[in-house]
Structure 1
Amino acid sequence: MGLIWTTGHAQDEKVDVGKYEYINSCAACHGEEGKGDGPLAGVIETGIPDLTTLSQRNDNVFPLARVYEIIDGRADVQAHGSRDMPVWGQRYGMEAAEKYFDFEYDSESVIRARILAIAEYLHRLQAEE
Protein backbone atom coordinates (compact mmCIF):
# COMPACT_ATOMS: atom_id res chain seq x y z
CA MET A 1 0.00 0.00 0.00
CA GLY A 2 1.20 3.49 -0.77
CA LEU A 3 1.88 6.40 1.54
CA ILE A 4 -1.48 7.51 2.94
CA TRP A 5 -2.23 10.44 5.19
CA THR A 6 -5.47 11.59 6.74
CA THR A 7 -6.85 15.07 6.28
CA GLY A 8 -7.97 15.57 9.88
CA HIS A 9 -11.52 16.31 8.74
CA ALA A 10 -14.52 14.89 10.59
CA GLN A 11 -14.81 12.06 8.09
CA ASP A 12 -11.04 11.43 8.24
CA GLU A 13 -10.66 11.22 4.46
CA LYS A 14 -7.52 9.33 3.36
CA VAL A 15 -5.27 10.74 0.65
CA ASP A 16 -2.94 8.58 -1.45
CA VAL A 17 0.07 10.91 -1.66
CA GLY A 18 1.72 9.13 -4.61
CA LYS A 19 -1.47 9.05 -6.65
CA TYR A 20 -2.18 12.69 -5.78
CA GLU A 21 1.29 13.78 -6.95
CA TYR A 22 1.05 11.61 -10.07
CA ILE A 23 -2.39 12.92 -11.09
CA ASN A 24 -1.30 16.53 -10.53
CA SER A 25 2.14 16.29 -12.16
CA CYS A 26 2.16 13.39 -14.63
CA ALA A 27 -1.31 12.35 -15.80
CA ALA A 28 -1.72 15.16 -18.35
CA CYS A 29 0.87 13.40 -20.52
CA HIS A 30 1.07 9.84 -19.19
CA GLY A 31 -2.66 9.35 -18.57
CA GLU A 32 -4.46 8.53 -15.35
CA GLU A 33 -3.46 4.87 -15.58
CA GLY A 34 0.12 5.54 -16.76
CA LYS A 35 -0.35 4.07 -20.23
CA GLY A 36 0.99 7.13 -22.10
CA ASP A 37 -2.43 8.24 -23.29
CA GLY A 38 -2.99 11.50 -21.40
CA PRO A 39 -4.74 14.47 -23.01
CA LEU A 40 -1.41 16.09 -23.99
CA ALA A 41 0.16 12.90 -25.39
CA GLY A 42 -0.73 13.80 -28.99
CA VAL A 43 1.03 17.16 -28.69
CA ILE A 44 4.45 15.72 -27.83
CA GLU A 45 6.13 14.36 -30.95
CA THR A 46 8.55 11.97 -29.24
CA GLY A 47 5.76 9.80 -27.84
CA ILE A 48 4.86 9.20 -24.23
CA PRO A 49 6.01 5.92 -22.69
CA ASP A 50 3.71 3.43 -21.02
CA LEU A 51 4.78 3.70 -17.38
CA THR A 52 3.03 0.47 -16.44
CA THR A 53 5.72 -1.55 -18.22
CA LEU A 54 8.84 -0.05 -16.62
CA SER A 55 9.61 -3.24 -14.70
CA GLN A 56 8.92 -5.50 -17.70
CA ARG A 57 11.34 -3.45 -19.78
CA ASN A 58 13.98 -3.77 -17.03
CA ASP A 59 14.15 -7.56 -16.52
CA ASN A 60 11.15 -7.41 -14.14
CA VAL A 61 12.92 -5.07 -11.73
CA PHE A 62 11.46 -1.63 -11.03
CA PRO A 63 14.23 0.86 -11.96
CA LEU A 64 13.79 3.18 -8.98
CA ALA A 65 17.02 5.16 -9.35
CA ARG A 66 16.43 5.76 -13.05
CA VAL A 67 12.78 6.74 -12.47
CA TYR A 68 13.84 9.14 -9.73
CA GLU A 69 16.48 10.78 -11.95
CA ILE A 70 14.05 11.18 -14.85
CA ILE A 71 11.35 12.74 -12.68
CA ASP A 72 13.83 15.02 -10.90
CA GLY A 73 15.43 16.10 -14.17
CA ARG A 74 18.01 18.42 -12.64
CA ALA A 75 20.94 16.14 -13.46
CA ASP A 76 21.69 15.74 -17.15
CA VAL A 77 21.50 12.00 -17.81
CA GLN A 78 22.67 11.39 -21.39
CA ALA A 79 21.07 7.94 -21.66
CA HIS A 80 17.62 9.47 -21.25
CA GLY A 81 17.80 11.32 -24.54
CA SER A 82 16.00 14.60 -25.11
CA ARG A 83 14.32 16.42 -22.25
CA ASP A 84 10.69 16.85 -23.31
CA MET A 85 9.49 16.19 -19.78
CA PRO A 86 9.36 19.03 -17.23
CA VAL A 87 12.17 19.26 -14.70
CA TRP A 88 10.05 18.41 -11.66
CA GLY A 89 12.87 18.72 -9.14
CA GLN A 90 13.34 22.35 -10.05
CA ARG A 91 9.59 23.04 -10.12
CA TYR A 92 9.02 21.36 -6.75
CA GLY A 93 11.87 23.40 -5.26
CA MET A 94 10.35 26.66 -6.51
CA GLU A 95 6.91 25.67 -5.18
CA ALA A 96 8.42 24.87 -1.78
CA ALA A 97 10.22 28.22 -1.69
CA GLU A 98 6.92 30.01 -2.35
CA LYS A 99 4.97 27.93 0.17
CA TYR A 100 7.49 27.75 3.02
CA PHE A 101 9.25 31.12 2.72
CA ASP A 102 8.31 31.99 6.33
CA PHE A 103 9.70 28.73 7.73
CA GLU A 104 13.08 27.11 7.94
CA TYR A 105 12.96 23.96 5.81
CA ASP A 106 15.16 21.73 3.70
CA SER A 107 14.04 22.14 0.07
CA GLU A 108 15.80 18.93 -0.99
CA SER A 109 13.71 16.97 1.53
CA VAL A 110 10.51 18.42 0.09
CA ILE A 111 11.63 17.65 -3.46
CA ARG A 112 12.78 14.15 -2.55
CA ALA A 113 9.51 13.31 -0.76
CA ARG A 114 7.37 14.37 -3.71
CA ILE A 115 9.48 12.51 -6.27
CA LEU A 116 9.63 9.36 -4.15
CA ALA A 117 5.84 9.46 -3.70
CA ILE A 118 5.43 9.45 -7.50
CA ALA A 119 8.02 6.70 -7.94
CA GLU A 120 6.30 4.54 -5.31
CA TYR A 121 2.96 5.06 -7.06
CA LEU A 122 4.51 4.10 -10.41
CA HIS A 123 5.82 0.95 -8.78
CA ARG A 124 2.24 0.09 -7.81
CA LEU A 125 1.07 0.69 -11.40
CA GLN A 126 3.38 -1.96 -12.85
CA ALA A 127 1.56 -4.49 -15.02
CA GLU A 128 1.54 -8.07 -13.92
CA GLU A 129 3.08 -10.54 -16.36
Structure 2
Amino acid sequence: MHKICFTIAVFLAATGSSSQAMAQSADIGHELFMDYCAACHGESGKGDGDMAGIMTIPAPNLTLLAKNNDGQFPMLKVIHLIDGRTGMRAHGGPMPVFGRVFMSEEPSAANPYGTILESRGRVMSVAYYLETIQQ
Protein backbone atom coordinates (compact mmCIF):
# COMPACT_ATOMS: atom_id res chain seq x y z
CA MET A 1 0.00 0.00 0.00
CA HIS A 2 2.76 2.49 0.91
CA LYS A 3 4.46 1.90 -2.45
CA ILE A 4 1.24 2.89 -4.19
CA CYS A 5 0.96 6.13 -2.18
CA PHE A 6 4.58 7.00 -2.87
CA THR A 7 4.18 6.24 -6.59
CA ILE A 8 1.08 8.44 -6.77
CA ALA A 9 2.89 11.28 -5.00
CA VAL A 10 5.86 11.04 -7.38
CA PHE A 11 3.46 10.94 -10.35
CA LEU A 12 1.64 14.03 -9.12
CA ALA A 13 4.96 15.82 -8.68
CA ALA A 14 6.11 14.86 -12.16
CA THR A 15 2.86 15.88 -13.84
CA GLY A 16 2.46 19.16 -11.98
CA SER A 17 -0.91 18.13 -10.52
CA SER A 18 -2.02 19.31 -7.14
CA SER A 19 -0.06 22.57 -7.27
CA GLN A 20 -1.58 23.90 -4.05
CA ALA A 21 -0.50 20.79 -2.15
CA MET A 22 2.96 21.07 -3.70
CA ALA A 23 3.17 24.73 -2.64
CA GLN A 24 2.29 23.76 0.92
CA SER A 25 4.84 20.95 0.73
CA ALA A 26 7.50 23.41 -0.49
CA ASP A 27 6.72 25.66 2.49
CA ILE A 28 7.10 22.72 4.86
CA GLY A 29 10.21 21.70 2.94
CA HIS A 30 11.71 25.16 3.45
CA GLU A 31 11.24 24.85 7.21
CA LEU A 32 12.77 21.36 7.21
CA PHE A 33 15.64 22.56 5.01
CA MET A 34 16.42 25.38 7.44
CA ASP A 35 16.34 22.98 10.40
CA TYR A 36 18.27 20.08 8.90
CA CYS A 37 20.18 21.19 5.78
CA ALA A 38 21.13 24.86 5.98
CA ALA A 39 24.05 24.28 8.37
CA CYS A 40 25.93 22.59 5.53
CA HIS A 41 24.19 23.77 2.37
CA GLY A 42 23.56 27.36 3.52
CA GLU A 43 20.27 29.18 3.91
CA SER A 44 20.20 29.87 0.17
CA GLY A 45 21.20 26.29 -0.72
CA LYS A 46 24.43 27.38 -2.38
CA GLY A 47 26.77 25.22 -0.26
CA ASP A 48 27.90 28.06 1.97
CA GLY A 49 26.52 26.99 5.33
CA ASP A 50 28.21 27.52 8.68
CA MET A 51 29.72 24.02 8.53
CA ALA A 52 31.12 24.47 5.01
CA GLY A 53 34.55 25.48 6.30
CA ILE A 54 35.11 22.24 8.19
CA MET A 55 33.66 19.76 5.70
CA THR A 56 36.19 17.54 3.93
CA ILE A 57 33.94 17.38 0.86
CA PRO A 58 32.20 20.67 -0.02
CA ALA A 59 28.41 20.77 0.14
CA PRO A 60 27.08 21.20 -3.40
CA ASN A 61 25.24 24.25 -4.66
CA LEU A 62 21.68 22.91 -4.61
CA THR A 63 20.36 25.76 -6.73
CA LEU A 64 22.15 24.29 -9.77
CA LEU A 65 20.63 20.80 -9.71
CA ALA A 66 18.33 21.42 -12.69
CA LYS A 67 20.95 23.39 -14.62
CA ASN A 68 23.43 20.52 -14.18
CA ASN A 69 20.78 18.04 -15.34
CA ASP A 70 19.94 19.48 -18.78
CA GLY A 71 17.41 21.91 -17.29
CA GLN A 72 15.31 19.21 -15.60
CA PHE A 73 15.10 18.98 -11.84
CA PRO A 74 16.15 15.40 -10.92
CA MET A 75 13.32 14.82 -8.44
CA LEU A 76 13.78 11.09 -7.92
CA LYS A 77 17.55 11.36 -7.54
CA VAL A 78 17.12 14.17 -5.00
CA ILE A 79 14.59 12.11 -3.03
CA HIS A 80 16.98 9.16 -2.99
CA LEU A 81 19.86 11.35 -1.81
CA ILE A 82 17.85 12.87 1.01
CA ASP A 83 16.37 9.61 2.26
CA GLY A 84 19.68 7.78 2.10
CA ARG A 85 19.19 5.34 -0.77
CA THR A 86 22.42 6.40 -2.47
CA GLY A 87 26.02 6.27 -1.36
CA MET A 88 26.60 10.04 -1.66
CA ARG A 89 29.54 11.01 0.50
CA ALA A 90 29.98 14.18 2.50
CA HIS A 91 32.00 15.13 5.57
CA GLY A 92 34.37 12.28 4.65
CA GLY A 93 31.46 9.86 5.08
CA PRO A 94 27.85 9.41 3.99
CA MET A 95 25.49 12.37 3.96
CA PRO A 96 23.15 12.13 6.97
CA VAL A 97 20.24 9.80 6.24
CA PHE A 98 17.15 11.91 6.77
CA GLY A 99 14.67 9.18 5.88
CA ARG A 100 15.12 7.78 9.37
CA VAL A 101 15.41 11.19 11.03
CA PHE A 102 12.05 12.23 9.60
CA MET A 103 10.21 9.13 10.84
CA SER A 104 7.66 9.53 13.58
CA GLU A 105 8.81 8.30 16.96
CA GLU A 106 5.43 6.79 17.76
CA PRO A 107 4.22 4.32 15.13
CA SER A 108 0.71 3.13 15.75
CA ALA A 109 -0.72 -0.37 15.36
CA ALA A 110 -3.78 1.26 13.82
CA ASN A 111 -1.60 3.07 11.27
CA PRO A 112 1.42 0.85 10.52
CA TYR A 113 2.39 2.85 7.42
CA GLY A 114 2.04 6.25 9.07
CA THR A 115 5.65 6.57 10.09
CA ILE A 116 6.89 5.59 6.61
CA LEU A 117 4.48 7.94 4.88
CA GLU A 118 5.36 10.75 7.27
CA SER A 119 9.05 10.28 6.54
CA ARG A 120 8.50 10.16 2.78
CA GLY A 121 6.26 13.21 2.91
CA ARG A 122 8.97 15.19 4.68
CA VAL A 123 11.65 14.02 2.24
CA MET A 124 9.41 14.98 -0.68
CA SER A 125 8.66 18.36 0.90
CA VAL A 126 12.39 19.14 1.04
CA ALA A 127 12.74 17.98 -2.58
CA TYR A 128 9.80 20.22 -3.63
CA TYR A 129 11.44 23.14 -1.85
CA LEU A 130 14.75 22.48 -3.61
CA GLU A 131 12.92 22.51 -6.91
CA THR A 132 11.67 26.03 -6.14
CA ILE A 133 15.18 27.46 -5.61
CA GLN A 134 16.65 26.37 -8.94
CA GLN A 135 18.45 29.00 -11.01
TM range (shorter): 0.7 to 0.9
Higher helix share: 2
TM-score, with normalisation over the residues of structure 2?
0.73
Stretches of structure 2 that go unaligned for 5 or more consecutive residues are 1-19
Q: How many residues align?
A: 111
Matches within 5 A, 1:1-129: 2-4=22-24, 16-73=27-84, 75=85, 77-78=86-87, 80-81=88-89, 83-93=93-103, 96-97=104-105, 100-101=106-107, 104-105=110-111, 106-127=114-135
TM-score, with normalisation over the residues of structure 1?
0.76
Give the percent of matched residue pairs that are identical in Structure 1 and Structure 2: 34
Stretches of structure 1 that go unaligned for 5 or more consecutive residues are 6-14
Indicate how the Cα distance of structure 1 residues 19 and 102 shifts in structure 2: closer, same or farther if over 3 A, else same: same
SS of the residue corresponding to residue 117 of structure 1 reads: helix
State the alpha-carbon separation in 1 of the partners of residues 118 and 45 from structure 2: 24
Q: Which has the higher contact order (CA 8 A, sep 6+)?
A: 2
RMSD: 2.2
